[in-house]
Copies of this chain bind each other. A is one copy, B any other.
Amino acid sequence: MGISDEQKVGFMGSCKRKLISVVGRIKKLGRDDPRRIIHSLKVGLALTFVSLLYYWRPLYDGFGIASIWAVLTVVVVFEFTVGATLSKGLNRGLGTLLAGALGVGAQHFASLFGQTGEPIVLGIFVFLLAAASTFSRFFPRIKARYDYGVLIFILTFSLVSVSGYRVEKILELAHQRLSTILIGGATCVFISLFICPVWAGETLHNTIASNIEKLANYLEGFGGEYFQYEDNEESIIVEDHSKLHNKLSSLQAYKSVLTSQSSEESLANLASWEPKHGKFSFGHPWKQYLKIGSLTRQCAYQIESLNGYVIPADIQVAIQFRRRIEESCKAISTESGKALRILASSIKAMTNPSSSSKTHIENAKAAIDDLKHTLKSGYLESSDLLGIIPDATVCCILIDIVKSVEKISEATD
């Protein structure tokens, strides 16, 4: 009423813009990893499938109201990767079985104490078991692999022992519930295994390889960025900082490696639940990936310090010295980058790293020797120690990086 047409158009426009931005974000999320869309459809499929238990009369007559447990199981068990789904499914199954048996036992034992004693004894049981199981979840090893199972254990034990107090046909109830949980779990496992499976192991494998590649990218680009000055100038051309930053941002992918530990560990844990698939057998040495991952991270820390010297410090740089070390430093960084790239692609292809990666490491080492020789025989034109400090640091870090690269190479053998 009081709203003018202009305001209306403005409001519609802003709504439209918002909608477009949301749609754009959704599209991006799907494009970044199309497996997400497929996963969503798979969950929908699994849920619709277990709903059949309700819609189809003969099935419903068999399971009755317990069918909701199939729906519940699908919702909580279906995870993105096969490993996570298997781990949750097995945890749920084992936890339910164990706790169900214990619960029936506890209920039976408590019934010996008569009408008034029974709820008290049951209450004590529930209290003790819940407290003890909750505490066990703080153990790192249980937390990592069986957290969900313990949760289900507490849940089922409480449900069975407590509801056994009211429900007469407890065994029939347990049987119904267990079979519907099995149906739900089996549906999840089947769909996640056979329809476009997402393997945690494969994801870990690719993550490790692409992390190494990110470091390789940085090292191959480093020399060109660091030793950048016009030849006819005595001092280094300090480029516009923001411009330099833009140029470097394509190299900054390595930063994600710094914080990759927790995701690698959880992937390795999930991968250990997965059966043989593709090139990976059950019992594939996933721990080795963690070792390579942690060595890669170590190398990323070194690159992080190296990266601090690409933007010139406020210390005046001694140009002669930098020119002297340029060739060796460039060689060290490029050769170690090449070695890493070969290692990454040999990990990806699961072949033994060809000897060429070792050749590159040897080249890098030879360049280190050159560098050391230059430094030993050299003298300082201006005795300006301060000016050479950043360059000296870069040399030192590069030498350390070659050591790290060698360690990664040994670990991938």
Q: Which residues of A contact B (CB under 8 A)?
A: 25-26, 29-30, 36-37, 39-41, 43-45, 47-48, 51, 54-55, 60, 65, 67-68, 71-72, 75-76, 119, 122-123, 126-132, 134-135, 138-139, 151, 154-155, 158-159, 162-163, 165-166, 258-259, 261-262, 301-302, 304-305, 308, 315, 372, 375-376, 378-380, 383-386, 388-390, 392-393, 395-397, 400
CB contact under 8 A between A385 and B378, given known A36-B135, A138-B29:
yes
A51 to B: closest C-beta gap in Å? 5
CB contact under 8 A between A55 and B131, given known A71-B155, A126-B44:
no
Which of A65, A71, A139 has the largest count of B CB atoms less than 10 A from its CB?
A: A71
Q: Which 5 A-B pairs have the closest CB atoms?
A: A44-B131, A392-B392, A55-B119, A40-B135, A375-B385
Q: Which residue of B lies closest to A39 (CB)?
A: B134
Q: Which residue of B lies closest to A386 (CB)?
A: B375
In whole angstroms, what is the CA distance A45 to B134 when docked?
A: 12
- Contact indicator A127/B54 (Cβ below 8 Å): no
Contact of A51 among B54, B126, B135, B395 (CB under 8 A): B126
- Contact indicator B376/A380 (Cβ below 8 Å): no
A341 to B: closest C-beta gap in Å? 24
Supply 7 further A-B pairs (C-beta < 8 A) apart from A372-B386, A389-B395. A44-B127, A54-B166, A68-B163, A262-B262, A376-B386, A378-B385, A389-B396
Contact of A127 among B47, B134, B305 (CB under 8 A): B47
- Contact indicator A389/B392 (Cβ below 8 Å): yes
- Contact indicator A385/B393 (Cβ below 8 Å): no
In whole angstroms, what is the CA distance A126 to B396 when docked?
A: 61
Q: Which residue of B lies closest to A124 (CB)?
A: B48
Residues in B neighbouring A385, C-beta threshold 8 A: 375-376, 378, 380, 388, 392
In whole angstroms, what is the CA distance A155 to B51 when docked?
A: 12
Give the interface SS of chain A, mostly helix, strand, loop or mixed.
Answer: helix
Q: Which residue of B lies closest to A300 (CB)?
A: B301
Q: Which residue of B lies closest to A53 (CB)?
A: B162
Residues in B neighbouring A154, C-beta threshold 8 A: 43, 47, 75
Residues in B neighbouring A138, C-beta threshold 8 A: 29, 36
16 pairs from A and B in contact (CB 8 Å cutoff): A26-B135, A36-B135, A40-B135, A43-B131, A44-B131, A51-B122, A55-B162, A65-B163, A71-B158, A71-B159, A76-B155, A259-B259, A378-B383, A380-B385, A385-B392, A393-B397
Contact of A132 among B25, B40, B51, B388 (CB under 8 A): B40
Contact of A384 among B39, B376, B388 (CB under 8 A): B376
A193 to B: closest C-beta gap in Å? 18
Q: Which residue of B lies closest to A156 (CB)?
A: B75
CB contact under 8 A between A126 and B48, given known A159-B72, A304-B301, A397-B305:
yes
- Contact indicator B396/A151 (Cβ below 8 Å): no
Q: Which residue of B lies closest to A29 (CB)?
A: B138
Residues in B neighbouring A392, C-beta threshold 8 A: 385, 388-389, 392-393, 396
Residues in B neighbouring A75, C-beta threshold 8 A: 151, 154-155, 158
Residues in B neighbouring A308, C-beta threshold 8 A: 400
Q: Which residue of B lies closest to A56 (CB)?
A: B119
Contact of A162 among B71, B130, B163 (CB under 8 A): B71
- Contact indicator B258/A301 (Cβ below 8 Å): yes
Residues in B neighbouring A315, C-beta threshold 8 A: 372
A118 to B: closest C-beta gap in Å? 9
- Contact indicator A48/B123 (Cβ below 8 Å): yes
A253 to B: closest C-beta gap in Å? 17
A334 to B: closest C-beta gap in Å? 21
In whole angstroms, what is the CA distance A134 to B48 when docked?
A: 14
